[in-house]
C-alpha cells in the first residue's frame, strides 16, 4: 500500500482547520506539519489536530523532510508568495482559492510550476465533490442540450468589523475574491471564459467590494448571471439551463449537496449522495491521485483555467471600481 502523503499546512486560520479536520476521512494523506509566523500559533494548531511537526516560519515548513505536499491556506495576498516558496523548495502545492490576487500572479505561479515540473492546483474543492462529478458527466453526455444560461449566487452575512479579513483591503477583502470566486468558477466550468462582462458593484464600509453582480456573455450566445455579497445569507444555489433540460443545485451549491435534473417537460430526476466531513478531503484525494499518476495538474481544475478565472475577476473588479 502506498504511504500516505505528508501534508504541510501554511497557515492556521479557519480554512486550514477545516482541511486538517477533514483529513480524518481519507487514507491518502495525513497532516504532517504546520507552519505559522509565530510558534505559539503553530503549536496551538498542531496540538488541536495532533500534528507532529510545527514550525515558526513558512521557510521551515517547506524545508521539512516529512512534508511531501504543501497546502497554502493563508489570506489571498499571501497565496502567491507561499506557493512560490513551496515550489522553490521542490514541493507540490495546493493553493487556496482565490488562486492569487490577480491574473499576473497566477501566470507566474503556473509558469514556475511548469518550468520546475512540479504539481500545482487551485484548491477549488467544489470541483472534486460527488455532485459536481455527476453534473460534469451529464454535461459531457449532452443531457441538457445546448447550454443557454448559468446562474449562481453566494452571499454571507458578516459583522462589520474593519479588522475582519473579508472587510480588510490589506488582507484581500471583498465579496468577489472570497465568495464570488465560487460562482465565477462554476460558470467557468460550464461555459469557459466569457468574452463580454457587465458588472454592478457597491462598496462595503471599508471600500472593498461589498456586493457585486456579474453578467457574462459567451460566443455561443449563452449567458451567466452571478452574484455575491458580504451583507446577507443568500440561497447559494446554482443552476445550469439547457435547451433540453436544466440542473437545479440545492444550497450550498459549492459544498456537498444534491441536485435535480429537470427535463423540458418537467420530469425530475433527483441526485443525492451521502457525504462525510465538510468535503475538503475530496480535493486532498484528488491531489494524491494526481501525484500517484505522475500528473502535474488536475484535469478537474486545470491551471490554465485557474489563470483565466483570475483574469476574469480582474476584469470584474476593474469594472466594479469604476462604479464607485
By annotation, the residues acting in catalysis are 97
Neighbour-count burial of 324, counting CB atoms closer than 10 A to its CB (0-12 exposed, 13-18 middle, 19+ buried): exposed
Calculate the CA dihedral of residues 190, 250, 231, 98 and round it to 10 degrees: -40
Match 461589498 to its residue by C-alpha cell: 210
In sign, the C-alpha dihedral spanning 166, 168, 170, 176 is positive
Q: Which three cell numbers stand for residue 245?
A: 433540460
DSSP label at 300? T
Neighbour-count burial of 184, counting CB atoms closer than 10 A to its CB (0-12 exposed, 13-18 middle, 19+ buried): buried
Task: Report how far residue 184's alpha carbon sits from residue 220's, in angstroms, rounded to the nearest whole number.
Answer: 18
196, HSE (Cβ side, Cα atoms, 13 Å): 10
Amino acid at each position: 500500500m502506498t504511504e500516505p502523503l505528508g501534508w504541510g499546512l501554511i497557515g492556521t486560520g479557519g480554512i486550514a482547520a477545516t482541511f486538517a479536520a477533514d483529513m480524518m476521512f481519507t487514507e491518502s494523506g495525513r497532516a504532517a506539519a504546520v507552519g505559522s509566523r509565530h510558534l505559539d500559533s503553530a503549536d496551538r494548531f498542531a496540538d488541536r489536530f495532533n500534528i507532529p511537526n510545527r514550525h515558526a516560519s513558512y521557510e521551515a515548513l517547506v524545508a521539512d523532510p516529512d512534508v511531501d505536499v504543501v497546502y497554502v491556506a493563508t489570506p489571498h495576498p499571501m497565496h502567491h508568495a507561499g506557493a512560490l516558496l513551496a515550489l522553490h523548495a521542490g514541493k507540490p502545492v495546493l493553493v487556496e482559492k482565490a488562486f492569487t490576487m490577480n491574473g499576473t500572479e497566477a501566470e507566474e505561479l503556473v509558469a514556475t510550476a511548469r518550468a520546475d515540473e512540479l504539481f500545482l492546483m487551485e484548491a477549488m474543492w467544489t470541483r472534486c465533490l460527488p455532485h459536481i462529478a455527476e453534473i460534469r458527466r451529464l454535461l459531457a453526455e449532452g443531457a441538457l442540450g445546448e447550454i443557454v444560461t448559468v446562474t449562481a449566487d453566494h452571499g454571507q452575512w458578516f459583522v462589520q468589523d474593519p479588522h475582519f479579513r473579508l472587510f480588510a483591503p490589506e488582507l484581500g477583502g471583498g465579496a468577489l475574491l472570497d465568495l464570488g470566486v465560487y460562482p465565477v468558477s462554476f460558470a467557468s466550468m460550464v461555459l469557459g471564459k466569457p468574452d463580454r462582462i457587465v458588472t454592478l458593484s457597491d462598496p462595503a464600509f471599508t471600500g472593498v467590494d461589498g456586493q457585486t453582480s456579474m453578467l457574462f456573455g459567451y460566443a455561443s450566445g449563452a449567458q451567466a448571471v452571478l452574484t455575491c455579497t458580504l451583507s446577507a445569507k443568500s440561497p447559494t444555489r446554482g443552476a445550469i439551463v439547457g435547451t433540453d433540460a436544466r440542473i437545479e443545485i440545492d444550497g450550498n451549491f459549492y459544498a456537498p449537496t444534491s441536485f435535480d435534473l429537470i427535463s423540458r417537460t418537467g420530469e425530475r430526476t433527483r441526485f443525492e449522495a451521502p457525504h462525510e466531513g465538510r468535503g475538503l478531503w475530496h480535493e486532498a484525494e484528488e491531489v494524491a491521485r494526481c501525484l500517484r499518476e505522475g500528473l502535474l495538474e488536475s484535469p478537474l481544475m486545470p491551471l490554465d483555467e485557474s489563470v483565466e478565472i483570475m483574469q476574469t475577476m480582474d476584469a470584474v473588479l476593474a469594472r466594479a471600481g469604476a462604479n464607485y
